[in-house]
Structure 1
Amino acid sequence: MTPTDTTISNESGIAKRLFRYALTAKGTFITALILLAIGVAAELAGPFIAKTMIDEHILGIERPYYETTQVEGAAAYNGTYYKREDRFQLGETRGQEVRLVQSGRSFYFINEPVARVEGKRSFQDGVLTISYASEKQQYPAVPLSKEQLFEFYKPELPSIYKLVGLFLICLLISMITVFGRTYWLQSAANRVIQKLRTDVYAHIQRLPVNFFDNLPAGKVVSRITNDTEAVKDLFVAVLSNFSSGAVYITGVYIALFLLDVRLGLISLFVIPMLIVWTILYRKFATKYNTVIRSRLSEINAIINESIQGMAIIRVFRRQKATQEEFEALNADYMAHQNKMLNLNSFTTHNLVNVLRNISFVVVLWYFGSASLNGAGIVSIGVLYAFVDLLGRMFQPITGMVNQLAALDTSIVSAKRVFELMDETGEKVTDGGMPRYMGNVEFQDVSFAYKKDYVLKNISFEAKQGQTVALVGHTGSGKSSIINLLFRFYDPQKGTITIDGQPVTDIPKQWLRKHMGIVLQDPYLFTGTIASNVSLGDPSITREQVEQALRDVGADRLLAHLPQGFDEPVLEKGSTLSAGQRQLISFARALAFNPAILILDEATANIDTETEALIQDALEVLKRGRTTFIIAHRLSTIRSADQILVLHRGEIVEQGSHDELMELGGRYFKMYQLQQGSTASLPEGKETVGAAAHSKLAGGHV
């Protein structure tokens, strides 16, 4: 398959998916399209009304007139009444035939039949000459004054007034339908984009955690906001212009063929030119728009990263480097935007004007000149209607061409959105399971994020109510064990069971429902303190929220806040101290009543006074639960039932604090180093301990 075939196939798939989304608001779209068809019909009626007015009532006075005795519907001239031939009733008597013929800007009265009015006309010395090819006819003629000419127009006025009224009615219908179609199309588009954006966000909630390791948050945000907004333009502007344009052009061609088949056939050249034009335009535009959308996504990513890390940027004086990185992306974005601008300038409105002018020149040169010199290929009314319709046809073409940029941007953006939605997500299983006891067992578990194993043959058992501490230097595998427990990842080898049941047999949502976590740097959401405890879970009452906060001692640390537990929390809890944020995180875990609790060095950022305050709360929090503690400060885990010492993905020591101290191994050395003493180290271990100390800078193990 060639690249072009692949592109066509991809766009076909994107179009089908967009069409399925459009079906979610099909009723509104159908209503808009019906209004569109009615509006086009009403608008295109205008040229036909004008044609009738010109041919039947303005230029129609050149038809034969006959003397009559009936005053109604007749014109008076020199004391005699004359009625046009098509105004006589059946059986009504006709008298002498007369004709009114125009030459230049004046009309002349000929008191006899005229064989042929088509041709070149001239008046001189009371004689009107009509020349056609090699023929020449002459008739005695009398010039008509304005008052006399108006007498012949008087019978036409009622019909002209009716046509003007009909034109105004069509104009009113067109105005109403334009409003209706615009409103319903945009309403349907908003509904479709709401559905698309909701689906994208819901899918993000199902994506595995490792997906976000490789895609910056700013790029994800860009796809949910900027790209879906660009897709909205497809339904609002592009669909509106293309659908109305297609209906309008179809209506114009029908009208052109009804007017004159020859004129309709000549006008067909516009369609293939428009198709070729669109293909060539999109060949270049897609390439530019792909880069533009990618750069916009990268710009969002760097802005998000800079805001999150503003303190680090300023402390290490990286403002200039960050600014240069941003400017490089922004410059490339602008360069491709300018390429799109040049492409649009060359290929949109200007080219439509060229096509329109060529069409007008051809039609007016061939048909108009013949009509004006009396050759009579088409009537003046038909020519006027045709020029009017042709001008109207290029209006939607201009609208369609001007939307080609938005069309291509929308397709590129839709592709990016659907690529995100095509990422494999976690299966969502409705329902739940009873709260399990929390007996956890790892059996010969080995795990690798990519190729190299970060956990090797891990085996241990944690019974309900026990506290298991995980210690070891950075990269030893502590966090990987927790990731496996939460099923953010599944091991390549071995089995993890809870209450004897393999975790891979339990739906992830059910498994996590009875797990809680307290992070070293807890994450708080915008809202209030109370909402950050319940996280909006309707099963957690206000009383439970307040009780959880009191149980962890938060009522004492948060008592000074003006609104108490309803105090607003800004993004990430930036207005609260580390201790306050940690207490709220503890209360959150307590309110959800998990069977398995993970504490990721939950007291590392707490001052000594606050730590003493929550030690009792920790005991309350751990009671009856299986608790895993990732420990950096070993003094906080002395009471743990089990301590697992990890080194390069393996459990090298296992036991209680006292057992490991008696063992005198790696744990013993780490503990002594953190206590600031090497006096009790076994003989010959000082060098190893000193090396370990370099890894423990800042208290990290």
Structure 2
Amino acid sequence: MTRLDNKTITKRLYRYALRAKKTFVIALIMLVIGVGAELAGPFIAKNIIDNHMFAIEQPFYETTAGEHTAEYNGKYYKREGFWNVGESRGTEAHVVQSGPTFYFIQGPMDNTAGEKSYADGTLTVRNAQGQEAFYPAVPLSPTELFGFYQPELPSIYKLIGLYFIFLLITIITEFGKTYWLQSSANKVIQELRLDLYAHIQRLPVPFFDNLPAGKVVSRVTNDTEAVKDLFVAVLSNFSSGAVYMLGVYVAMFILDFRLGLICLFLVPLLIGWIYLYRRVATKYNTVIRSRLSEINAIINESIQGMSIIRIFRKQKQTQEEFEQLNNDYLSYQNKMLRLNSLTSHNLVNVLRNLTFALVLWYFGSAALGGFDSAISLGVLYAFVDVLGRLFQPMTGIVNQLASLDLSMVSAGRVFELMDEEGEQVTDGSMPRYKGNVQFKNVTFAYKVNPVLKDINFEAKQGQTIALVGHTGSGKSSIINLLFRFYDPQQGTITIDGQNVRELPKQWIRQHMGIVLQDPYLFTGTIASNVSLDNEKISRERVERALREVGADKILSDLPKGFDEPVVEKGSTLSAGQRQLISFARALAYDPAILILDEATANIDTETEALIQSALEVLKKGRTTFIVAHRLSTIRSADQILVLHRGEIVERGSHDELMEIDGRYRQMYRMQTGNSSSALPENGLNPDTADQAPVPAGLIGRTI
């Protein structure tokens, strides 16, 4: 498989995201509204501090009782901010703080900025240049001070109410963003899994010869789940983090343009860190996902072959193989853990401390220098608040880097599998063909060495063709070519005179059926395993097929009869019961070409007699191919092909072959006990390096 680069993976994930673009757009709208509502909080606090809490240090002017007025010593005063343009104002007054105490000064003040001190009824103000100004002052009691604050309370209450409104908006939009984003992610992963599973159904059989089932399962389950984390956790943190950081920077520039510029250095640092982190993490995560697939593969293989493992006492060896993979997996997980532990939290802390140091330097130098650029306390509070909020999304982004990289690696593995060339799926069907089959000069190899050499034979409708020969002689390869699981390198195969290469594979297989030596049953019932849930096969047809093959005789003892539950592979049924169900399946689908691959090898004598009688019904009007080692089951075959090392060395009926003192006669005598003569040297153990078994094909299933 060719590894995909991050740019290609991102583009393909983006195309999948577009399938749920409406919900993604809604989530992003909710996100933007929520960020705006949340960032309104510092501005409201700034307004309360600067325009109300510390605004009482603005000049007051004597007036008559009314709105926004404060009473002191029988007189009424209104703060400068409450006066309308053009209104006539009375005597000026000031409320000034020195230490914890506030003082009332009657009359104008030239400068209120600077160091203040009070002694003997006089307030002294010393500016940055050392110049002093003296003002007569009267200390205010808490009650008197509260009188000056009273006009501010209605506005403060309104601003607090507005803050809670924005808080409610934030809560609602956060819920909406999370819901719509996760529902979008679920929809995307649903589509991805469906596409992946559909593509697996189209992959050619040779692909599965080289890739263990556990690895395929890992890509459909574990890797797609990791991609889901990309959309749910990573995308959520990155998108909300990006929008939040943009909002924070807008807020900082509004508060103070120069401080906003100072804090911009965080952006390239964060982008650079993401790039460097992924360069290292991708190497680790690639190995981690690969090892996880291998672990799934060995677990799947161990479960499938548990009886063999125990019989041959391979538990220790299997355990050691598993431990080696598991230890390797743990090693790379620990490498990722060290990388994350040394980086994510430390990076954010360093950036936070560095930024606050710069801000403090800026404020301190401005304040100590007495520059006009010194900002208000409200701006300082709002800026520190906003700056603190900047590191929340940054922390979320950095903490999700591990998930981001793991998800990208998993997405790459999924797309690599989807890029494997699959068989074209052609809709529709073809009429049931007669079943005249011809192999003409067929030569075929799975890899390099030919396993079939110049094969020629013809099977006409209604005939039974038997394929015999020792292991590795090429019997199963002929069946593989007939099903078009593979195509020959040389020669042609025709059905009813038409080259099979010119017909869609699904159309050909629609009228083919196979009964295996170890038939495959699905989870369900006996009846559903006969029909394979094909709507065209009625219940009546299922029951008739079971009766015609004699299955009702040995399945009648089951509590629920034909509706008896079947677990995976039919492990609760006997070999004979499973084989009869497989025969009934073949009969129900009424194929034009029937393949019996050692169909009676695992059957007891009584059940074999039952099946042999059913076979006569099953073979009528069909071209039947029988792969058999038990030669007594093929005596009635119209033509027997004897294969050796990929070549047809003998052909004819049973009687014709028995008249020839050849391989078939010697094999038959060995099985019946009429001769002890052995076959020629190496006859039993041909080179099988390039052999492949017949896949577990199923009647009526599109493969």
CA distance in 2, matches of 1:368, 1:579: 91
2:470 and 2:684 in contact (8 A); partners too? no
Match for residue 21 of structure 1?
A: 16
Once the two structures are TM-superposed, the CA of residue 125 in structure 1 deviates from its matched residue by: 2.3
Matches within 5 A, 1:33-112: 33-112=28-107
Matches within 5 A, 1:444-523: 444-523=441-520
CA distance in 2, matches of 1:526, 1:80: 93
> Structure 1 residues 406-415 or 660-669, which shifts more?
660-669
Q: 1:538 aligns with which of 522, 535, 538?
A: 535
Counterpart check, 1:357 vs 2:353: yes
| Alpha-carbon RMSD | 1.6
Match for residue 220 of structure 1?
A: 216
CA distance in 1, matches of 2:367, 2:78: 26
Q: 1:581 aligns with which of 578, 583, 601?
A: 578
Q: 2:321 aligns with which of 306, 325, 328?
A: 325
CA distance in 1, matches of 2:423, 2:629: 32
Counterpart check, 1:260 vs 2:285: no
| Counterpart secondary structure, 2:429 | coil
The amino acid of 2:591's aligned partner reads P
Matches within 5 A, 1:586-665: 586-665=583-662
Identity %, equivalent residues = 72
Q: 2:247 aligns with which of 247, 251, 268?
A: 251
Once the two structures are TM-superposed, the CA of residue 371 in structure 1 deviates from its matched residue by: 4.8
Once the two structures are TM-superposed, the CA of residue 140 in structure 1 deviates from its matched residue by: 1.6
Change (3 A) 1:198 1:71: same
Match for residue 164 of structure 1?
A: 160
CA distance in 1, matches of 2:401, 2:680: 69
2:128 and 2:369 in contact (8 A); partners too? no
1:106 and 1:144 in contact (8 A); partners too? yes
The amino acid of 2:410's aligned partner reads S
> Structure 1 residues 90-99 or 57-66, which shifts more?
90-99
Once the two structures are TM-superposed, the CA of residue 49 in structure 1 deviates from its matched residue by: 0.4
CA distance in 2, matches of 1:152, 1:688: 118
The amino acid of 1:343's aligned partner reads L
Change (3 A) 1:387 1:690: closer
1:438 and 1:625 in contact (8 A); partners too? yes
Change (3 A) 1:365 1:689: closer
Deviation string 1:392-451 (CA, Å, 9 cap, x unpaired) is: 111000001100000000000000000100000000001111010100000100011111
Change (3 A) 1:372 1:179: farther
1:44 and 1:389 in contact (8 A); partners too? yes
2:511 and 2:591 in contact (8 A); partners too? yes
Once the two structures are TM-superposed, the CA of residue 72 in structure 1 deviates from its matched residue by: 2.1
| Counterpart secondary structure, 2:217 | helix
Once the two structures are TM-superposed, the CA of residue 361 in structure 1 deviates from its matched residue by: 2.5
Higher relative contact order (CA 8 A, sep 6+): 2
Deviation string 1:147-200 (CA, Å, 9 cap, x unpaired) is: 111001100000000000000000000001001100000000000000001111
Change (3 A) 1:41 1:690: closer
Deviation string 1:662-692 (CA, Å, 9 cap, x unpaired) is: 112110110011101118xxxxxx4546975
Change (3 A) 1:105 1:545: same
CA distance in 2, matches of 1:368, 1:154: 33
Matches within 5 A, 1:122-137: 122-134=117-129, 135-137=131-133
CA distance in 1, matches of 2:435, 2:45: 85
CA distance in 2, matches of 1:187, 1:337: 30
CA distance in 2, matches of 1:260, 1:393: 15
Q: 1:405 aligns with which of 399, 402, 407?
A: 402
CA distance in 1, matches of 2:684, 2:185: 62
1:371 and 1:379 in contact (8 A); partners too? no
CA distance in 2, matches of 1:520, 1:268: 72
The amino acid of 2:11's aligned partner reads K
2:471 and 2:684 in contact (8 A); partners too? no
| Counterpart secondary structure, 2:303 | helix
CA distance in 2, matches of 1:602, 1:661: 24
Counterpart check, 1:309 vs 2:302: no
The amino acid of 1:345's aligned partner reads S
CA distance in 2, matches of 1:369, 1:158: 37
Q: How many pairs are equivalent?
A: 683
1:669 and 1:689 in contact (8 A); partners too? no
Change (3 A) 1:337 1:36: same
CA distance in 2, matches of 1:121, 1:266: 32
- TM-score, normalization: structure 2? 0.95
Q: 2:200 aligns with which of 195, 204, 208?
A: 204
Q: 1:437 aligns with which of 430, 434, 437?
A: 434
| Counterpart secondary structure, 1:109 | strand
